[in-house]
Structure 1
Amino acid sequence: MKTLIRWSVLAAVVAILALPAAARACPFCSAVSLTFAQEIAQSQAAVIAKLVEPPPPGSLSPQADGPLPKGKFEVVEVLKGADLVAEAGLSGADAKPIETIMLEEKPVGSLFLLMGVEPPDLVWSSPIRVGDRAVAYVRRLGDLPEKGPDRLAFFQEHLEDEDDTLARDAYDEFAVAPYADVRGLKDRMNPAELLAWIEDPKVQANRRRLYATMLGACGSMADAERIGRLLSGDGLSAEQTEARSGLDALIACYVALKGPEALELVDRLFLDRKDRDVPFTETYSAVMALRFLGEESDLVPRDRVLASLRLLLEEPKLADLVIADLARWQDWSAVDRLVTLFKEAQADNIFVREPIVNYLRACPLPEAAAAITELEAIDPEAVRRAATLAGVAGLIAAAPPAADDDDNAGPPGSTTLADPTALDAALATAIAPVRGDEDPTDITAAEPPATEQTAVPAAGGSMVAWWKWLIWAGVVIAIGIVSRAAMRTAPTGER
């Protein structure tokens, strides 16, 4: 059963990785929710309204019967869609109140942000409580540039705001902003403030990742030494150790500030596992950081990054984490080692065989082709499954890409290779990294790219939606084929 699950997930991951790269933002950040600006943009009307009549007493109880409780609100200020609000009779001298679902008890007179859709009657969202400062914050949103460092400069002032609603929204704005915009703000960042937040164990891990990313753009060598102390954990109290959450971003920050020599510490602490018990979550975080750095050629030479990644080829259960990266960056020096790994694979790491085959297929060296013939005699089913996964990836990669109106939206890692042939690129894409036995527990950024913020749908996206449905139909079919093959061919006792 575990083998079936692994192969079903692997097939889905391959298909997802073969899709055109989405515009990526902060490389280690994940937005918690839609930002105020995104919600307002998706609505047809937006207002600041005052609660004038709360839901009836008792209707907010979990045991209450009847329809969902509703509150009544009086429009105080129209932020968007003034004509629609007026047409619905919700503004002016004879305005009627807005009535919408309200699931929390709040005092009469409290201010809320409401968004409406489906004119002319307008259907309203659940109310979002806002104070006077939040009202002023929301008013400013319409005056900000649509993108760029100048937009982020406003939200930077509200990171770790005393009003957590504003702090959360400011974080989300950074999380969905193009990485180039974050870097463009470096001269206006406050390194001392960022470092203080990073070292504060009470700061949320997802926000710490953002602050580490920002510090990597603006910090000093002295800041690097402080981050290095966090990485090593030397002399940290139990409470201070909490500041090591968000380890992937901390590693990337450390290397960005200190340069290639910083990888010596990273290798020693997280990747060289000989005779050492390194938690899988920490090794995985290091791999995620190296993937980011591998695209930042101005920070660390890619050859040096690859040297660090190749250390995991000495760990049979973890080698599959990096095989895709070696193929994508055309490091063909690992052919002999991977052939040995294939031959020596046991039940607890048999899954490494398929990515090895696809690495060899992508490799242009004649010894790689000869190796495939040799390995097919050892495990023909692994070679067949690898070909199936590569074929699915190639078919999906051939689909017309969605239009992208933001050429500068992606951070390092979102670009595609120009050198390999289309077939080689598809094969390299098909080598999906599969996690080992352990599941990371505190590495939000170490999750697959599907965790990234989805862009707000644009008008005229019907063709894109049609292709998405076609692609997912192919994914379902591929999963079914691979799952049946796995059930039929999996050896007894395989995990």
Structure 2
Amino acid sequence: MRNLLRRSGVVAVATATLVVGLARQAPACPFCSAVSLTFAQEIAQSQAAVIARLVEPPPAAALSPRAEGPLPKGKFAVVEVLKGADLVAEAGHVGADGIPIETILLEEKPVGTLFLLMGIEPAQLIWSSPIPVSERAVDYLRKLPVIPDKGPDRLAFFQKYLEDPDETLARDAYDEFAVAPYADVRGLADRMDPSQLLGWIENPKVQANRRRLYATMLGTCGTKADADRIGRILARAEMSPEQAEVRSGLDALIACYVTLRGVDGLDLIDELFLRRRGREIPFTETYAAVMALRFLGEESDSVPRDRVLASLRLLLEEPKLADLVIADLARWQDWSAIDRLVELFEKAEADNIFVREPIVNYLRACPQPGAAAAIVRLEKIDPEAVRRAATLAAFAGPLGAKPDGTAMTSGKTQNGDPDGDPGDPSAGPAIRPQEAASATAQAMTADQAIAMRIPAVLADDEATDDTPGIDPSRPAAARLPSAAPGIPATPAGGRAKLVKWTVWTVIVLVIGLFSRAALRVGGSGPSAR
């Protein structure tokens, strides 16, 4: 019992931590993923930060992989205080007679090497693992407190360090762009160098994640001539196997190309990655194209959403790939695919049976006549698929409700006209009660019914992010191809509501785990049979 409860508690804590962490993410560079916390973030989370010089390295024997005993520690003398001068002085680390900082050091470095150390828990201060820094990096760290906290002017500082010879600085500059709102990246466009960005994109030695950033940046500042060079990369024109590495980060390259070329650019994307006609196209390339189309559909300055939807609908001709785009069609309220989706449901076989649940949820979200009747008809073919779709919809209902009880609608209509925040990429389709609810409600389990009755916990209507941009969770969430289209994502203004509702759901699940564990143990006593 104790082990079971402990395991349940660990799962619950991990789940809650993940939920809160995801909810706190801000709209960021759409194709970039930060490698680690930035220096600015790490220093902000610490109470003290210093530049220190190694004065006594750990014994060489202690650094051996076979060494036993406590972890090796080095001693460091403070050279410069970056944050928390009073705390560092109170701990006795300042001055010629200052007490050396002693902390874990797991690599062999010569005496005199400079490190960044960060401390918490005054007055004694607990110090982090040391990060080796160069003299240039020290100068870089000194400037962090004086640059703007956000906006294009902040990125202008870090832009100078992209692909810097000092890899520590290049990595940190990339991470700053990766966590910056996409609107800030666009705001920097007139200070970017398209030729330099294109050179990095075409360099096969540049890391794929950084190529994604440079393609995203080029999409904001490049020309049609730059688009033609990106087009040759997409088409593999005159490319050796070594040069083919420049196609890594394909999703960002596709988005860059179409952004610069406009509507005509989608014709090439359709032909290369979506319109198969019996050709073998790697799934990873098709998926990259879908990711790019999602970005283009949200940031529709370059192409109308109707044209993006036309490209997405091409995959409805591929039964094994259709589930990639069904949620997008529903989210953007494209109800022109009802007949085709019903046909896909009816003809689904073992190798694409997974397409049925997203089709049902598409129909649940559809306000057009005939959608509810189609669900009733499809339930006779596969009641289990309809039941599973209802399970997803059970949790979608509370998440999709506004404070006034109405359903949330997408940020833009199908023709691209805004009916909400035009910068909000996460708004979902309107969800209305369907006549088919009576047919699917019977298939719901008691647990699902309870979940439906749990009211949403609503927060005050305070803003959580005043910067429009691309939601980084959109590409990530889209990797679940069978995501229910009936589950609308929450706009930026409702992020606090989503956090509190999700945490409440986690609490309910934890209580259920503990209750079930207690009942199970209670039934295993001497009187149990």
Compute the displacement of 1:298 (Å).
1.4
Paired with 2:504 and 2:157, the residues of 1 have a C-alpha distance of 41
- Aligned residues of 1:389 and 1:430 also touching (Cα < 8 A): no
- The residue number in structure 1 matching 2:409 is none
Higher-Rg structure is: 2
2:486 to 404, 428, 453: 428
Secondary structure of the residue that 1:147 maps to in structure 2?
coil
- Residue aligning to 1:223: 226
- Residue 139 (1) aligns with residue 145 (2): no
Q: Does 1:23 align with 2:26?
A: yes
2:11 maps to what in 1?
Answer: none
Structure ranking higher on relative contact order (CA contacts 8 Å, 6+ apart) = 1
What SS class does the counterpart of residue 366 from structure 1 fall into? coil
Distance 2:254 2:330 in 1: 23
Query: Where does 1:49-128 land on structure 2 (aligned, <5 Å)?
Result: 49-128=52-131
Does residue 396 of structure 2 align to residue 393 of structure 1?
Answer: yes
Q: Provide the residue aligned with 2:505 in structure 1.
A: 471
Letter in 1 for 2:505: I
Q: Are the counterparts in 1 of residues 55 and 75 from structure 2 also a CA contact under 8 Å?
A: yes
Which position in structure 1 is the counterpart of 2:44?
Answer: 41
* Equivalent position of 1:212 in the other structure: 215
Please show how residues 192-211 of structure 1 align to structure 2 within 5 Å.
192-211=195-214
Normalised to the residue count of structure 2, the TM-score between the two structures is 0.76
Match of 1:179 in 2: 182
- Alpha-carbon spacing, 1:404–1:463, altered in 2? closer, same or farther (3 Å): closer
| Structure 2 counterparts to residues 69-468 of structure 1, below 5 A | 69-397=72-400, 398-400=456-458, 407-412=465-470, 428-429=486-487
Is 2:399–2:487's contact at 8 Å kept on the other side of the alignment?
no
Q: Report the alpha carbon displacement of residue 408 of structure 1 after superposing the two structures with TM.
A: 3.9
Q: Give unpaired runs (5+ residues) of structure 2.
A: 1-14, 401-455, 475-483, 490-494, 514-529
The CA deviation at 1:239 is 1.2
State the secondary structure of the residue aligned to 2:124.
coil
Contact between 1:180 and 1:408, CA under 8 Å: does it hold in 2?
no
Q: Which amino acid aligns with 1:428?
A: G
2:48–2:119 CA contact under 8 A, matched in 1: yes
Distance 1:146-1:285 versus aligned 2 partners, 3 A rule: same
Change (3 A) 1:477 1:343: farther
Task: State the alpha-carbon separation in 1 of the partners of residues 334 and 473 from structure 2.
Answer: 18
Q: Over residues 62-85 of structure 1, what are the superposed CA-to-partner deviations in whole Å (9 max), with x where a residue is unaligned?
A: 100110000000000000000100
Matching residue of 2:519: none
CA deviations 1:255-280 (Å, max 9, x no partner) are 01000100000000000111110000
Q: 1:32 to 1:223 in 2, by over 3 A?
A: same
Could you tell me how far 1:427 is from its partner in structure 2?
Answer: 5.8
Matched residue type, 1:127: P
Give the aligned residue type for 2:126: V
Alignment check: 8 A CA contact 1:21 1:414 kept = no
Mind listing any 5+ residue stretches in structure 1 that lack a counterpart?
Answer: 1-11, 417-425, 432-460, 480-495
Q: How high is the sequence identity, in percent, across the aligned residues?
A: 71
Asked if the contact 1:23/1:410 (under 8 Å) is kept, the reply is: no
State the AA in 1 paired with 2:130. P
TM-score, with normalisation over the residues of structure 1? 0.82
Q: How many residues align?
A: 428
What is the CA–CA distance in structure 2 between the aligned matches of 1:171 and 1:357, rounded to whole Å? Answer: 41
Is the alpha carbon distance of 1:402 and 1:337 closer, same or farther for their aligned partners in structure 2, counting shifts above 3 Å? farther
- Whether the 8 Å CA contact 2:219–2:257 is kept in 1: the answer is yes
CA displacement 1:296-331 (0-9 Å, x = unmatched)? 221110000000000000111110100000000000
